Amino acid sequence: MNILGLSAHYHDASAALAVDGELIATVAEERFSRLKHDPNHPRLAIDSCLAHAGLTAQDLDAVYFYEEPHTKFTRVLVSTLGGFPGTAGRFVQSMRTWLGDRLWLGNQLSKVLDLHPDRIHFVPHHLSHAAQAFLGSPFDDAAILTVDAVGEWASTSLAVGSWSDPGEIRVLETLPYPHSLGLFYAAFTAFLGFRPNDGECSTMALAAFGQPTRVDDVRRVLALHHDGTYALDGKCFDFTATKGSPFTRRFTDIFGEPRGFRSPVPLSVRGDHEPPTAELQVYLDLAASVQVVLEDALLGLCRRLHERTGLDRLCLAGGVALNCVANTRILAESPFTDLFIPPDPGDGGGAAGAAMYGAWQAGDTARPTYHPFLGPADPVDGIPAWVDHVEDELWTPGRDGSDGVQVEQLPPDALVEQVVSDLVDGRVVGWFQGRLESGPRALGNRSILVQPSHTEACDRLGLAIKKRASFRPYALSIAEEDARRVLELPDPTPLPAHWMQMVVPILPQARDSTRGAQHVDGTTRPQVCRQADNPRYHALLRAHAERTGTPGLLNTSFNERGYPIVATANDALLVFARTPMDTLVVGDLIYRKG
Amino acid sequence: MGPYPEVSVRSQLRRLAIRSLLPLSWKLSPGRVSSSLLRFAEVEADSAWQFLRAMEVLEQPHQRAAMFHDAIEEMEHSAGFYTLARTYASRPLPLCRDRREALLTGPEGLGEFLTYIYEGEREVYEEFEDYTTAAGRQDIQDWLTHIREDEEGHQDTALATLIEVLGGEQELARLVRSIRWRRNKESLARLSHRIGNLFSGVLLGSIFLVAGPLFGWACKQRMDSARGDRERRYGPPTLDAAAS
C-alpha cells in the first residue's frame, strides 16, 4: 500500500510516504520553499516524496492528514465566541481562513491530488503524534506522552502502544486546551522578547544563565496537581489575541513588564561576559524558573503515565519534546528507563505519524524504521560548469580575505583527509551529503562544521555566518567510539543522545577542546554518531579524532539566520557564496575559498 | 533601459498611490513602516528563490551563473530590508506565511519567465524611486538608492538573457504585452481579494455581534468545563510536593 501522510496549515507543513508499511520519505515544505516553518499546503514536499518512490499521486492508496479539521474548527469557534466581545478580530480572522478553505480540506486534497474523496482520511492530531513516536520506535510496548501547544482540543495526551497481536495505540487521557504546556512556554518566550513558536530554544538557552528563584510565581500561573496533571490560570493568558501578547495584565502584575525584543543580551556561552545587569538578571531567573516548572510538569505527567501503564519505556512527541533539557530530566528522574523521541517530534513529524498510522490501519505489517535521513538527496554529477562563469568577487571572502573559489573532485578518503585538514586549520566547513535530515537538527548531511577548540573559527561562525545570539550554544558531534572520552554519558547510550535530543555534561579534561560546542553550564547537546547511522560522517568524525586526539566537532544546521536548512546543492552554494564560510563539501566535490 | 521604456497604466497608478498615500500612511502608523519594509524583504527573498529555481531549469552555464549572481544580490537586498524592518518594529517580526509559486517550471516557459523578471525589475526600479522620495527617512532612502543600481543591473541581465533565448527582438514585443496583461490580472486579483476581505470582515463581524451574545456564555462554559470538572473532582489546584 502507498500511503501519503500530510501536515499543514499551522506551522511546519510536511509530507511523508509509507510504502508497504515502511516509511521511505518525509520532508518539510520549508526546505523547498525556503520559508521557515512554512505552513502552506506541502505541494513541493509531496512531489519530492512521490518522486523518491517513482510514484504519481494516482498510485496512492490513501492520504492521511494529521488532524481532524472539523473538530479543530469547533475549538476555534468555541474559543473565539467564548471570548466575546474581546475576540472580534480573532473571530473574523479565523472564520475567514476556516470558511474560506480549511474547513473543506478533504475536498481540496481530493482535487489537488486528483484522488477520490474516499481515499482522504483524517487522524486526530495527538494520535498522529502518538503514532509518530511509537510506530517508528524500537519498542514493542511503550507508554506514549504527547505534549504540544494544541491539536484539535487536546494539548497533552497520555497513551499506550503495543505491537503485540492485536496491536493498538490507545489514548488513555487528554488534557484540553487552553491548559497547554506548549502555549505556556510560548507565552513566556514572547514575554522574554522572542518570537513564540520559534524562539523557545532561546528561552531554554537563557535558562542556563539564571537561577530558578521565581518558581513559586510561575506555579501561580501553572498549577501542578498531586495527580501529575496541571492547569493554567486562564486569567493570566490570552491565546485568542489577534496581534497582541499571549499574556494578560494579571500576568504582568506578577512578572513585571516584558523584555523588549531589541534589548541586548550580552551573555556568552563561554562565560567570558560581564555580569548581567540587575534588569537582565530578572529575566534570566524567570527563564530558569519557567524551565524548571516545565520540567516538573513533564515529570508529573510521566509519573501519572507510568502509574497508569506500568510500562518502563516511554515514547515522547509534540513540540515540547524539542526541549532537550527537559528530556534529560525525564531520562534521569522519571520512572521510565528508556526514552524514544522521533527525529521531528513537532508538527512537521505529524505527517510521518499520519502516514505510519495509515499504513498500520491498512494492514501493512512491516515495522517502519523512523530515522532522520528520509529527505531528498540532490545528486551532483561532477563539477557544475556554471561555477566557472561566476565572477570571483561574488564569493564573499573567506578567512584569508582572498576572492575566488577552487573546486576539486576527490576520492572519499582523500576528501575526508582534506576536510580534517581544513577543520584543524580553523576553516569553517559546509558539509552537504546524501539525503536531507527531517526535523530541526542537522545530523551530518546538511551541517556546518567547525573544530570546537578553534575560538576564532567559532566566533566567525557565530558572528558572520549563523549570526546567532552569543548566549545560544552549539551542538557537538562525536563518534560513538570516542564519546566517553569527552562526555559523561550514561551506559548504554540513551537513544536521544544520537539525535541531539538531550544534554550531557562534558568531562573536565575535555572542556578546553570542546569549548565552542558547550553551554555555560558545561553541558552539550550531543550527536553520538554510530557508523551505521551515517557512515561518511562517522568516518570524518573518526578521522578528525585520530588526527587531533581531541574528538568532537561543532555541528550546526546548514542555513543562514531566518532560513531553513538547505535542501539543494544550489541552496548550499548560495550560503557558501554569501557568507565567509571557507570550505564547502558537496558529495565528492570540495569548494575552497582562498 | 530596454526597448520598452514606456510605463504601463498599472504602473503609473501604483506610482501615484505610492507618492500620494505612502507618506501619510507611514506618518499615521509607524508600524506600517516596518511592515512595508518587511514586505520588501519578502519580495526580494522570493525573487532570489525564483532565480535559484530557474537555475535548475536553465541549461546554459553562463545563464545559470547569471541567475546565481542575481539570487545573491536579491538575498542581500532582502537582508537589508529585514534589518531596516526590525529597526522600525515594535515587536519581533512575524515569519512570512505566503505561498511560493515558481514562475518557471520548465524550459519551455523560459521566455515568459525572463520577461516577467524584466518587467518586475523595471517596475521595482521605478517604484523604488517613488519610495525613496516618499520615505522621508534617511536610512531607508540610502538603502533604496543603493539597491536601485542592482535592480537596474537585473533588468539588463534579464533583457540580455531574454534576447539570447529568443534569438532576437522580434518576439519581445508580444511577450512584454502578454506579461503585462498577466501582471494586470494578478493585480486585479489582489485588489479583488482585498475588497473581498473587506466585505467578509463586515459580514463576519456582524455574525460575531449576533452570535456572541447568544452563544458566548455557553462557549465560555465549554472552555471552563475541563478545569471545573477537575476542581470538582480534586479540589482547587495545589502545589505538587513531589515536584517541589
Long-range pairs, B101-104, Cβ under 8 A, ≥24: B102/B50, B102/B53, B103/B50, B103/B53, B103/B54, B104/B50, B104/B53, B104/B54, B104/B57
My answer on whether A291 and A433 are in the same domain is: no
The model's confidence at residue A251, banded by pLDDT at 50, 70 and 90, is very high
Asked if the structure places residue A109 within a domain, the reply is yes
CB pairs under 8 A between A and B: 165
A442/A466 same-domain check: yes
Number of H helices, E strands in chain A: 18, 22
Q: How confident is the model at residue A347 (pLDDT cuts 50, 70, 90)?
A: very high
In a domain, A150, yes or no: no
Using the predicted structure, report yes or no on whether residue B242 has a pLDDT greater than 60: no
The minimal CB distance from A577 to the residues B72, B238, B242 is found for B72
What architecture (CATH level 2) is domain B9-198? Up-down Bundle (1.20)
Evaluate if residue B240 carries a pLDDT over 70.
no
Counted domains in chain A: 3
Does residue A285 sit in the same domain as residue A307?
Answer: yes
Residue A374 domain-assigned? no
Residues of chain A in contact with residue B64, where contact means CB-CB under 8 angstroms, are 384, 386, 389
The model's pLDDT over A175-191, given as tens digits with 9 standing for 90+, comes to: 999 999 999 999 999 99
Q: Does residue A153 lie in a domain region? A: no
Nearest CA among A14, A430, A376 for reference residue B56 = A376
Taking only the tens place, the pLDDT of each residue in A297-332 is: 999 999 999 999 999 999 999 999 999 999 999 999
Residue B4's pLDDT is 54
User: Are A348 and A412 part of one and the same domain?
Assistant: no
Look at residues A237, A219, A235 and name the one whose alpha carbon lies nearest to residue A300: A219
Whether the pLDDT of residue A399 is over 80: the answer is no
**B224 — contact with chain A (CB < 8 Å)?**
yes
* A41 and A11 in a common domain: yes
B68-117 pLDDT per residue, tens: 999 999 999 999 999 999 999 988 898 888 889 888 877 778 889 889 98
Give the per-residue pLDDT at B243: 39
Report A:89-118 residues touching B (Cβ under 8 A).
91-92, 95-96
- C-alpha to C-alpha distance for B45 and A38, rounded to whole angstroms: 14
Q: What is the pLDDT of residue B230?
A: 52
Using pLDDT thresholds of 50, 70 and 90, give the confidence band for residue A242. low
* Strand stretches in A487-542, DSSP E: 504-505, 523-524, 526-529
Confirm if A567 and A375 have CB atoms less than 8 A apart. Answer: yes
Q: What is the ipTM, given to two decimal places?
A: 0.91
What is the average pLDDT across A198-210? 97
Same domain, A466 and A578: yes
Q: Does residue B5 register a pLDDT over 90?
A: no
Residue A417 belongs to a domain = yes
Task: Indicate whether B1 pLDDT > 80.
Answer: no
Q: Does A191 map to a domain? A: yes
Q: Are A15 and A27 contacting, i.e. CB atoms less than 8 angstroms apart? A: yes
Say whether both A350 and A291 belong to one domain: no
A113 plus A52 within the same structural domain: yes
Domain that holds residue A111: 2-136+343-361
User: Is pLDDT larger for residue B60 or for residue A17?
Assistant: A17
Q: Give contacts of B61 with chain A, Cβ < 8 Å.
A: 384-386, 388-389
Q: Identify whether residues A351 and A416 lie together within a single domain.
A: no
Alpha-carbon span A88 to A80, nearest angstrom? 8
Please report the residues numbered 125 through 154 in chain A whose beta carbons come closer than 8 angstroms to any beta carbon of chain B.
none
| A37 found inside a domain | yes
pLDDT reading at A342 higher than 60? yes
Q: Do A392 and A355 belong together in one domain? A: no
Which range is least confidently modeled, A41-45, A271-275, A570-574, B13-17?
Answer: B13-17
Sorted by where each begins, the domain ranges of chain B are 9-198, 201-234
pLDDT at residue B236 is higher than 60: no
pLDDT at B241: 39
Q: A416 and A304, same structural domain?
A: no
- Residues A329-346 have a mean pLDDT of 97
The mean pLDDT value for A474-491 works out to 97
The domain that holds A529 is classified in CATH as: 3.90.870.20
Q: What residues in A contact B208, CB-CB < 8 Å?
A: 80-81, 84, 88, 91-92
B76 and A394 within 8 Å at the Cβ level: the answer is: no
**CB nearest A224 (choices: B92, B230, B239):** B239
Distance CA B165, CA B177 (A): 18
**Closest partner residue to B197 among A36, A96, A226, by Cβ?**
A96
pLDDT band at B20 (very low <50, low <70, confident <90, very high): confident
Average pLDDT, chain A: 95
Domain of A336: which CATH number?
Answer: 3.30.420.40
For B142-178, write each residue's pLDDT tens digit. 999 999 888 888 888 888 888 888 888 888 888 888 9
Q: Is residue A169 part of a domain?
A: no
Instruction: Return d(Cα A388, Cα A409) in angstroms, integer.
Output: 15
